[in-house]
Amino acid sequence: MQLTRFINVVDVGVAAVALVAIVLPPREMNAEAAYRGDDRNAFALALAEARTIAQPMDGNARSAFAHRLDDARLNDWAIEDATRGSEKAKDSPTRWRALLAASVAYVDRLDAVQALALAKRALVACDSARSSSAVDACPDWEQVRMQLYHDHLDAGVKLGIDPKREPIKFRKAGEKVVMPVRIHGADQVIQPAGSGSAH
- Domains defined along the chain, listed by start: 40-180 (1.25.40.10)
Q: What is the pLDDT along the chain (199 residues), one digit of tens a residue?
A: 455 556 777 888 888 888 887 888 777 877 666 677 788 888 999 999 999 999 999 999 999 999 999 888 888 999 999 999 999 888 889 999 999 999 999 999 999 999 999 999 999 999 998 888 766 888 989 999 999 999 999 999 999 999 999 999 999 998 888 877 666 655 555 455 554 444 4
- Please report, for residues 37, 156, 166, the alpha-carbon distance to residue 116 in angstroms, rounded to integers and kept in the order given: 30, 10, 17
To the question of pTM greater than 0.75 for the whole model, the response is: no
Which sign does the torsion angle of CA 168, 170, 171, 177 carry? positive
